[in-house]
Homo-oligomer: A and B are copies of this chain.
Amino acid sequence: MRLIDQHCHSVVHDDLPDPAFASLLTESDRPPADGTSPWDSSLGLAVRRWCPPLLDLDPYPSPGDYLDRRRELGPAESTRRLLRGAGLETCCIDTGLDTAAGAALLSLDGFATASGSAVREVVRLEQIAEQASPGSSAATWAGQVDAALAAAVRDRRAVAVKSVLAYRHGLDITATRPAPAEVANAASEYLSAAERHGSLRLDHPVLLRHLLWTAVDLGLPIQLHTGFGDPDLTLHRADPSLLTDFVRAVEPHGVPLVLLHCYPYHRQAAWLAQSFPHVYCDLGLTLGHTGLGARPVLAETLELAPYGKVLFSTDAFGLPELYVVGVAAFRDAVAAWTAALHATGCPAPDSDRLAALIGADNSRRLYGL
């Protein structure tokens, strides 16, 4: 089964100290509680299960033995082996993050060379807006930002844009496009707060909405973080059902909306994908993070989601291990699902075609890859 990873991030190219490595095995950005380790988790076990054979170890070494072997090979060779082991045809990389656990990420070219995968870019709306904000005023902010977004999308040949509204505010926003005066007023508030706090972090709901509507004008598929992530978000405010009015408002424009991750609201996301022609969904980091849960979680998603609307991604970030784990968990879960279909008499060509849709063909069609 060929795989297109429709949403992922680059990986660290230097060796990480043990605690920094472990910190990328959890969505938490806090140190672990006393007496606990991020390795003792579904994701930790999944890394110990799937990755060691790519570094010539048997499955389930101790974390220490695994990290020793990784260092023995060196980060470049380990990264190369792991990414190539993931075997992805194309990676659509969200470039909104530059570092992981304080270490720099591979450039897109570096990632392509290491992985052997084709690489396409996903542009993060809030990042571009923050970079374009200095020097703007209430009156010029929207124009400056819109121009920067259009340029980023064009210059980087982006296949999609990405919104982190779930982190910056929650998905419970007003659906409609904000009027220019409302945007100018909000920009004024944002710029003066930015000066006051020395931070350009964009979390004004009106401006976040403005970015979404600028994205609608650009016409590329819009990927939206939904469901779990790091503690910067509040989970129930990341329920994709909260986006329903926005989904309805965008529908006449025909711009695809891609709900990322979605867990534990993946059944809700699946209903949205069934209900609205322009809505798609993936499970992102969920499959790698949930370990043995990958099978039921994929099955739950495929209860209501049309098979032509579910996409594959790893949402891998920082560690090449997360690519390996995301791919392995997906392949395993899809194999379990198709085996269950076969047991009902479904012919293999049918279930193979459906698996291929989800693994790559839906993304190929949606993003024109």
Contact = CB atoms under 8 A, between A and B. Distances in A.
Interface of A: 26-28, 30-38, 40-42, 45, 48-49, 59-60, 228, 230-231, 234-236, 239, 241-242, 244-245, 248, 263-264, 267-268, 271-272, 274-278, 289-293, 296-297, 299-300, 302-309, 337, 340-341, 344-347, 350, 354, 357, 365
B264 A268 contact: yes
A271 to B, nearest CB: 5
Contacts of A337: 292
A49 B306 contact: no
28 contacts: A26-B274, A27-B271, A27-B274, A32-B306, A33-B277, A33-B278, A33-B308, A33-B309, A35-B365, A36-B306, A40-B308, A42-B303, A45-B341, A45-B350, A60-B346, A60-B347, A234-B241, A234-B245, A235-B241, A236-B241, A264-B268, A290-B303, A290-B304, A291-B303, A292-B302, A292-B303, A292-B340, A292-B344
Given A264-B267, A293-B299, 16 more contacts: A32-B308, A36-B306, A41-B306, A42-B304, A45-B341, A228-B304, A231-B276, A234-B241, A235-B268, A235-B272, A236-B239, A236-B242, A292-B303, A292-B341, A293-B302, A296-B299
B274 A267 contact: no
Contacts of A37: 308
Contacts of A41: 274, 304-307
Nearest to A37: B308
Contacts of A30: 275-277
Given A228-B304, A235-B271, A306-B38, A49 B346 contact: yes
B293 A300 contact: yes
Contacts of A340: 292
A127 to B, nearest CB: 23
Most central of A32, A245, A293 by chain B CB within 10 Å: A293
Contact of A277 (B27, B32, B49, B308): B32
Nearest to A279: B33
Contacts of A59: 344-345
A59 B239 CA distance: 38
B49 A231 contact: no
